[in-house]
Amino acid sequence: MDGENRSINNGADAAWRVLGSSTFAFTICFAVWMMFSILGIPLKSQLHLSNAEFGLIAATPVLTGSLIRVPLGIWTDRFGGRIVFFLTMLSTVVPIWLVSYATQLWQFLLLGLFVGVAGGSFSVGTPYVARWFPKSRQGLAMGIFGAGNSGAALNKFVAPVLIVTAGTWTIVPKVYAIAMLITAFVFLALSASNPAHRIPTRSSAGSQLKVLRDPRVLRYAQYYSVVFGGYVGLSLWMPQYYVQQYGFGIETAALLAACFSLPGGVVRAFGGWLSDRFGAYRTTWAVMWIALAGFFVLSYPPTDFVIHSARGPIAFTIGAGPVLYTVVMFIIGVAVAVGKASVFKFIGDDYTDNIGAVSGVVGLAGGLAGFILPILFGLLVDLTGVRSTCFMLMFGATVVSLLFMHFSYRSEALAKAGAEKESKVYERETVAH
């Protein structure tokens, strides 16, 4: 009996050790993934970039980190999360270092593609961590791991300080490369492996991907493209938004932008707890409505009104100043953090045996949205000259998500009610005979 209790305690200790080391590693990976959100500000002046080009250079790492999520998720199912996570981090060290020597736009874009592999670590850590915990606690576990999104805020704290202290942006990639190398070996030392968590090798990638034909997967991908894609897109866009819209310096802009990025990562663990307690659907539904209200407030551009009254013209201005803007963005950051966890609670509930492949595809959708959005934000500003168009776009995307949720779940509820009715009729007929 004592031996059995010891075995259980050792398993619990290993689970928490895996969760802690994975969350730390993912935090560093996410900070690296978001590196160009800060580097892009001095590079915009140095390379004379347009708003759209700034969006492209900031978002390029997000593209690779998104596309690689599906194969990384499958490899995690088959070979185990520990070795895949370690090799993923190790593969980014050299490209990160080389960024400091780039001088032209194409060089930053090319290296950004390789640096972006760090973002794929999410689809490794999610199934890796989840399988160490019982289903009733997977939402919390995945939420804690997902709190590594706070690496976006870490980047906003660290990168500006490094740039101002060293007097050049080239110090940032060198420091980040060293940090990634150290993190990879710390993770390897502290994490653990369990062969029972792997899908048998006789299961091909094709057979794992068959589940993706399930419309529920596409639905979860759509939700995640709003809560995670919007989070990534705005995290990349906000520092330069503060600089351009309010005239702040890079340190102040990055600090204020962290008011969105930090809760967007840390509160994710709370979102996992809420999802375990109230269910993924109700939690996600509430998240979408809160985000919709916030984007509505921020969508309105600064506008001057003149009312021609009997006593003469009365002028007043409507617009979000930096204080209101930061407060609303903080609230949105909390909401999307909860939403990121609740979407993956759906996956943990529905795809226990194939969580790697499914989380990879859902993560892919969210990452691609995070790649596309900063480019669209820049294009809209270049075309209209109105900086709040980024929030107009996010408002529209959230409306689509709410409509999709409403009608898809309404159809499912009707189908379920019909099936229950038929079952009761069949039971009555059976009893009668």
DSSP code, position 65: H
Contact 305/317 with Cβ under 8 angstroms?
yes
* Most confidently modeled range among 84-88, 243-247, 413-417: 84-88
The two tokens of residue 120 are 């794929």
Angle between helices 121-130 and 355-384 (to 10 degrees): 140
Q: How far apart are CA 305 and CA 308, in angstroms?
A: 10
Lowest mean pLDDT among 156-165, 248-257, 404-413: 404-413
Question: Nearest to residue 291, comparing CAs of 320, 330, 321?
Answer: 330
pLDDT for position 173: 96
* Residue 318 φ/ψ region, left for φ over 0, alpha for ψ in the -120 to 50 degree band, beta for the rest: beta
pTM of the model: 0.75
Q: How far apart are CA 218 and CA 428, in angstroms?
A: 38
Per-residue pLDDT tens digits for 275-318: 888 888 889 999 999 999 999 999 988 888 788 887 888 887 77
Fold entry, domain 2-199+207-432: Growth Hormone; Chain: A; (1.20.1250)
User: If you search the block for the tokens 């030392």, which residue do you land on?
Assistant: 189
pLDDT band of residue 180 (cuts 50, 70, 90) is: very high
Rounded to an integer, the average pLDDT of 416-420 is 47
Q: Is the predicted pLDDT of residue 1 greater than 80, yes or no?
A: no
Rounded to an integer, the average pLDDT of 76-101 is 93
SS3 313: strand
pLDDT for position 210: 66
Q: Between 406 and 381, where is the model more confident? A: 381
pLDDT for position 315: 82
Question: Nearest to residue 192, comparing CAs of 4, 431, 426, 22?
Answer: 22
Q: Which amino acid is at 235?
A: S
Question: Nearest to residue 64, comparing CAs of 84, 97, 40, 91?
Answer: 91
pLDDT for position 415: 47
Q: Is the predicted pLDDT of residue 168 greater than 90, yes or no?
A: yes
Per-residue pLDDT tens digits for 309-368: 878 888 877 777 889 989 999 999 999 989 988 887 888 777 776 676 677 778 778 888
Contact 59/375 with Cβ under 8 angstroms?
yes
Pairing of strands 303-309, 312-318: antiparallel
Q: Between 349 and 416, where is the model more confident? A: 349
Q: Is the predicted pLDDT of residue 220 greater than 70, yes or no?
A: yes
Q: How far apart are CA 157 and CA 159, in angstroms?
A: 6
pLDDT for position 148: 85
pLDDT for position 411: 54
* Residue 5: Cβ within 10 Å count: 9
Q: How many residues does the structure list for the chain?
A: 433
Angle between helices 69-79 and 355-384 (to 10 degrees): 160
Alpha-carbon separation of residue 268 from 42, 334, 393 (angstroms) = 31, 8, 24
Q: Is the predicted pLDDT of residue 227 greater than 70, yes or no?
A: yes
Q: How far apart are CA 49 and CA 385, in angstroms?
A: 16
Lowest mean pLDDT among 162-176, 191-205, 242-256, 390-404: 191-205
pLDDT for position 203: 47
Rounded to an integer, the average pLDDT of 84-102 is 96
List beta partners, residue 307: 314
CA atoms within 13 A on the CB side of 157: 12
pLDDT for position 414: 47
Q: What share of the chain is helix, strand, coil (3-state, %, to 5)?
A: 85, 5, 10
pLDDT band of residue 3 (cuts 50, 70, 90) is: very low
Torsion of CA 332, 130, 35, 92, to 10 degrees: -170
Q: Strands (DSSP E) along 51-124, which ranges?
A: none
Per-residue pLDDT tens digits for 109-118: 999 999 999 9
List Cβ neighbours of 95 (8 Å cut-off, separation of 6 or more): 111, 114, 115, 117
In percent, the amount of the chain with pLDDT more than 70 equals 86
User: If you search the block for the tokens 């999360």, which residue do you land on?
Assistant: 81
Summary mean pLDDT of the chain: 83
pLDDT band of residue 2 (cuts 50, 70, 90) is: very low
Q: How far apart are CA 433 and CA 427, in angstroms?
A: 10
Per-residue pLDDT tens digits for 11-31: 568 888 999 999 999 999 999
Domain boundaries, the chain: 2-199+207-432
Q: How far apart are CA 112 and CA 165, in angstroms?
A: 24
Rounded to an integer, the average pLDDT of 141-161 is 86
Contact 221/362 with Cβ under 8 angstroms?
yes
